[in-house]
Structure 1
Amino acid sequence: MESRKERSGSLGVAGQELSSGAPGLMLRREIGLWSAVSLIAGCMIGSGIFMSPQGVLVYMGSPGASLVVWALCGLVAMLGALCYAELSALVPESGGEYAYILRTFGSLPAFLVIYIFTLVGRPATIAAISLSFAEYALAPFYPGCPSLPQAVVKSVAASCILLLMLVNIWSSRLATMLMNVCTVAKVFSLLIIVVGGAVVLVQGHGRTEFLLSAFHNTTQQAGRIGMAFYQGLWSFDGWNSINYMMEELKNPKQNLVWALMIAIPLVTSLYVLVNISYLLVLSPSEILSSDATAVRWGNQILGSWAWLVPLAVALSTFGSVNGVFLGGSRVCYAAAREGHMPRFLSMIHVHHLTPAPALMFTTAMALVLVIPGNFSIIVNLLSFLSWITYGATISCLLYLRIKTKNLPRTYKVPTFIPVVMLLASLYLVLAPIIDNPQMEFLYVFLFLLSGFLVYFLFIYFQCQPKCLQMATFHLQLLLEVAPTTKNH
């Protein structure tokens, strides 16, 4: 790892190259506008829209309020993405939240972000989505079985993770192409659900009675509303995925904003229409009693073609895991480049030009979390972690507005947008803790405290094993990886 002087990043040196990097070796700019749209939409559309409708309805208590929550989740994602777009113009580096916090608030806060992100955040996301993939992929082989064998489920989830690791190591272009194919399949499957609901409504068989009592029994508790947003925002998670790969985006100043303006409204519209379709076909009690809302919808509407729904969900979750791999490994790579992770993780393959060590590390952490994995607990835990990080990142933008008024900006959002996003972040972090404290929140707090100990021991005071340098040397030779320069 690097010395403290080398790590003391600030906004003014955001674009400097690392002197120790091998000249000319860097990640390729291979992501165009439509690939960026595909990446954002593909990361957002995962298992959530097929499983989370139950969670939102449980916490909100009424179908009308749940639809409002879905629409507001899309608005929150859009506002957050616009704030991130301005930050990416100021700090044009890969790494997303980590890079923005590092260049604004310095080393310690950035390390805490990367500590949570690389050890828990992204690996847990990969574990949760891959478990969903395994359940839907295995469902046709266990007809009528109320619960699948967990050993088989976790074996399939682990196989999914390992396969996608190999794809991402082999070629970023291949991983992007896979993302594009899966995104088309996801949008098509959601359109099938939307059209199916429309057909039921035109035929006069729709359950329109939910409109008469759309807001009956809506909860008034702030904590339950916050948990409903956790469930809904889980389905929108991934709106910031392109920020992790800024150094691989073609014409980033223009393509980033366009990609966000196309992808997020598209996904929001599809989500709201899909939820309306669910409510037209299934009663609220049927939705609440089903862990797989889309499958139950398919069994009632598609008949002998109902197998298309598990297939669509499996493809959707497979693509989402791929998207998380693409973004998550780049954050690990960027942090290692700054000295907040072992330097070996900042290297890329000399032939394929992919961050192979970072991908392998992310895979290893995800495989560990697959073993005890529980989907619902992971969702709430990740949402809590995410909104702590989002709030800290949005505060970077407000701080820079005050501190660097005269800094040239190629893109700027109205000030009220980051203010609204910061207030939303505070609400989503504090409301569930105050109204409904859970042990998971205490675990997060204790894990965050352990980050201070790790930082001062290994980063600040440089207490590192002497064998680390030798291990790095041998791993470099074995995996054919080398240091990099930053891509401007």
Structure 2
Amino acid sequence: CKESNIIGSGIFISPKGVLDHAGSVGFSLIVWVLGGGICALGSLCYAELGVTIPKSGGDYSYVTEIFGGLVGFLLLWSAVLIMYPTTLAVIALTFSNYVLQPAFPNCLPPYIATRLLSTTCVMFLTWVNCSSVRWGTRIQDIFTVGKLLALVLIIVVGMVQIANGHYDALEPQTAFEFIKDPSVGQIALAFLQASFAYSGWNFLNYVTEEVVEPRKNLPRAIYISIPLVTLVYTLTNIAYFSSMSPQELLDSNAVAVTFGEKLLGVFSWVMPISVALSTFGGINGYLFTSSRLCFSGAREGHLPYLLAMIHLKSCTPIPALLVCCTATIVILCIGDTHNLINYVSFINYLSYGVTIAGLLYYRWKKPKLVRPIKVNLLVPCSYLVFWAVLLGFSLYSEPVVCGMGLVIMLTGVPIYFIGVQWKNKPHWISSAVGEQDQPKRLCIVFLLQRNQSCERQQRTPHTAFWNSKDLFSIRS
């Protein structure tokens, strides 16, 4: 269900960043509630796009259809180079912090130790996903239990605390005492931090073609999932403040661990284990989806041909997985967790805004097109107003962090014209992007089994990889 895509490791990462930028307990809770409302507006717009342009691939497919190849390529370029690797890096760092925090109760875990553990985790899960699709999906199923256990435990214990009268930090006169003077720029950054936890609200649009009756089920998923996730996130933060002062939360490097140590006594070990399970599963899930995005982009000719290769025996996109793993390890060494969240959230919101602006442009460009779902114009307009204010003040408050994201995105412009638009390239350039010497079409027939594996009936000897285009042409 959609809420399982949204609820993830972000809720164990973002509360500290939201409180730090919001400046008070009360305002941080308002940010969490409004953040869910903004996601609901965006989801309604994506529901219209999903049934109007019934293609899987989400933002990338919609923007390519509406604005053309260049804008779609820039979205893909920023996702491959920034969004997915940075998100993976943040979740991997959270995993290592929660695993190591019990060993360093009075200080931050060593920088080298967190990076080494994060790198080891990413490399291990890359190997798992390269080896077998079944192993990757089973890890995802098993480790989903971790995040649900942790959140249920936090909310139940927090509500018990409040019932026993421990809610000093939540009383109005205390909740709105600002730790530091707020500014519009800092409030914008607080929304960026919260948006990291809500990321995933548009994941259903990546598999639109596989959704049964999308006209009914897309809006239904929005009406159920977004309010439920908003409630869970708000209750989780209220639970934190039932036992922790704002300063204690800001000083903690692993909020859920500190919460467990204060309230769970001898069972405090449950919390770091649960969060570690959640983040471990989150890394696995993002590796799976990011590699498939690389795979899809390469299949459409927007990324090097090599990334559209699948291993013959394991049926996994090994080159795409290795690229995602390498980019993640590089980003792990760039900065700390909360700066990385601002970095990826800015680019995320930028892509959301471009996609929803595309909805308005598409209505103007093709007014007579059949739209099974058609939202009121106030919905996309309200989202875009919020989007423009948020990104403008975020760029003003963190010009280096946000500006670097824009610069990296714009580096895709010359890459697009050289790699995609330029058809008669010299041999050495074509070889560099993998367009020359493409393998000949193999005579392969695959049987797609119920366990999502595929068996090879015949193949050319000494061939380790085949291209996805071969499979799709054979299946069609």
Task: Name the structure 1 match of 2:472.
Answer: 485
Query: How far, CA to CA, are the matches of 1:471 and 1:132 in structure 2?
Result: 43
Task: Decide whether aligned partners of structure 1 residues 408 and 255 sit closer, same or farther in structure 2, where only a CA change above 3 A counts.
Answer: same
Query: How far, CA to CA, are the matches of 1:388 and 1:466 in structure 2?
Result: 33
Listed as ranges, the matches of 1:275-290 within 5 Å are 275-290=237-252
Task: Decide whether aligned partners of structure 1 residues 166 and 81 sit closer, same or farther in structure 2, where only a CA change above 3 A counts.
Answer: farther
SS at 2:430 equivalent: coil
Query: How far, CA to CA, are the matches of 2:363 and 2:317 in structure 1?
Result: 33
More displaced 10-residue stretch of structure 1: 457-466 or 478-487: 478-487
Task: Name the structure 2 match of 1:162.
Answer: 123
SS at 1:216 equivalent: coil
- Shift of the alpha carbon at 1:398? 1.1
**Is residue 287 of structure 2 the alignment partner of residue 325 of structure 1?**
yes
Query: How far, CA to CA, are the matches of 1:276 and 1:456 in structure 2?
Result: 50
Task: Name the structure 2 match of 1:429.
Answer: 391
SS at 1:212 equivalent: helix
- Shift of the alpha carbon at 1:304? 1.0
More displaced 10-residue stretch of structure 1: 363-372 or 350-359: 350-359
- Shift of the alpha carbon at 1:209? 5.9
SS at 2:190 equivalent: helix
Query: How far, CA to CA, are the matches of 1:276 and 1:100 in structure 2?
Result: 38
Corresponding letter in the other structure for 2:188 = G
1:241 aligned to 200, 203, 206, which one? 203
**Is residue 139 of structure 2 the alignment partner of residue 152 of structure 1?**
no
1:226 aligned to 181, 184, 188, which one? 188
- Shift of the alpha carbon at 1:352? 4.9
Task: Name the structure 2 match of 1:309.
Answer: 271
Query: How far, CA to CA, are the matches of 2:309 and 2:137 in structure 1?
Result: 20
Query: How far, CA to CA, are the matches of 1:257 and 1:330 in structure 2?
Result: 25
Query: How far, CA to CA, are the matches of 2:351 and 2:238 in structure 1?
Result: 32
Task: Name the structure 2 match of 1:5.
Answer: none
Aligned-residue RMSD, C-alpha: 2.7
- Shift of the alpha carbon at 1:406? 2.1
Query: How far, CA to CA, are the matches of 2:468 and 2:417 in structure 1?
Result: 28
- Shift of the alpha carbon at 1:143? 4.0
TM-score, structure 1 as length reference? 0.84
Query: How far, CA to CA, are the matches of 1:90 and 1:167 in structure 2?
Result: 37
**Is residue 360 of structure 2 the alignment partner of residue 398 of structure 1?**
yes
1:457 aligned to 384, 393, 418, which one? 418
Task: Name the structure 1 match of 2:23.
Answer: 61
SS at 1:213 equivalent: helix
Corresponding letter in the other structure for 2:157 = G
SS at 2:242 equivalent: helix
- Shift of the alpha carbon at 1:369? 1.9
Query: How far, CA to CA, are the matches of 2:237 and 2:96 in structure 1?
Result: 24
Corresponding letter in the other structure for 1:149 = P
Say if 1:348 and 1:481, in contact at 8 Å, map to a contact too. Answer: yes
- Shift of the alpha carbon at 1:203? 2.3
Task: Name the structure 2 match of 1:185.
Answer: 146
Say if 2:298 and 2:307, in contact at 8 Å, map to a contact too. Answer: yes
- For residues 55-82 of structure 1, give each alpha carbon's deviation from its aligned partner in whole angstroms, at most 9, with x where no partner exists: 2122222211111100111111222122
Say if 2:308 and 2:467, in contact at 8 Å, map to a contact too. Answer: no
Say if 2:26 and 2:175, in contact at 8 Å, map to a contact too. Answer: yes
Say if 1:95 and 1:330, in contact at 8 Å, map to a contact too. Answer: no
2:58 aligned to 96, 106, 123, which one? 96
Say if 1:77 and 1:236, in contact at 8 Å, map to a contact too. Answer: yes
Number of residue pairs matched by the alignment: 447
Provide the identity percentage. Answer: 36
| Higher relative contact order structure (alpha carbons within 8 Å, sequence separation ≥ 6) | 1
**Is residue 43 of structure 2 the alignment partner of residue 81 of structure 1?**
yes
Say if 2:304 and 2:435, in contact at 8 Å, map to a contact too. Answer: no
Task: Name the structure 2 match of 1:117.
Answer: 79
Query: How far, CA to CA, are the matches of 1:247 and 1:359 in structure 2?
Result: 24
SS at 1:281 equivalent: coil
Task: Name the structure 2 match of 1:211.
Answer: 172
- Shift of the alpha carbon at 1:208? 5.4
**Is residue 426 of structure 2 the alignment partner of residue 439 of structure 1?**
no
SS at 1:466 equivalent: helix
**Is residue 180 of structure 2 the alignment partner of residue 194 of structure 1?**
no
Query: How far, CA to CA, are the matches of 1:242 and 1:263 in structure 2?
Result: 11
- Shift of the alpha carbon at 1:99? 0.9
Say if 2:310 and 2:465, in contact at 8 Å, map to a contact too. Answer: no
Task: Decide whether aligned partners of structure 1 residues 156 and 255 sit closer, same or farther in structure 2, where only a CA change above 3 A counts.
Answer: farther
Say if 1:45 and 1:267, in contact at 8 Å, map to a contact too. Answer: no
Say if 2:125 and 2:284, in contact at 8 Å, map to a contact too. Answer: yes
Query: How far, CA to CA, are the matches of 2:222 and 2:318 in structure 1?
Result: 28
- Shift of the alpha carbon at 1:211? 3.0
Say if 2:169 and 2:245, in contact at 8 Å, map to a contact too. Answer: no
Corresponding letter in the other structure for 1:188 = L
TM-score, structure 2 as length reference? 0.86
Task: Name the structure 2 match of 1:374.
Answer: 336
Query: How far, CA to CA, are the matches of 1:248 and 1:155 in structure 2?
Result: 39
- For residues 261-307 of structure 1, give each alpha carbon's deviation from its aligned partner in whole angstroms, at most 9, with x where no partner exists: 43332221111001111111111222222232221111110011111
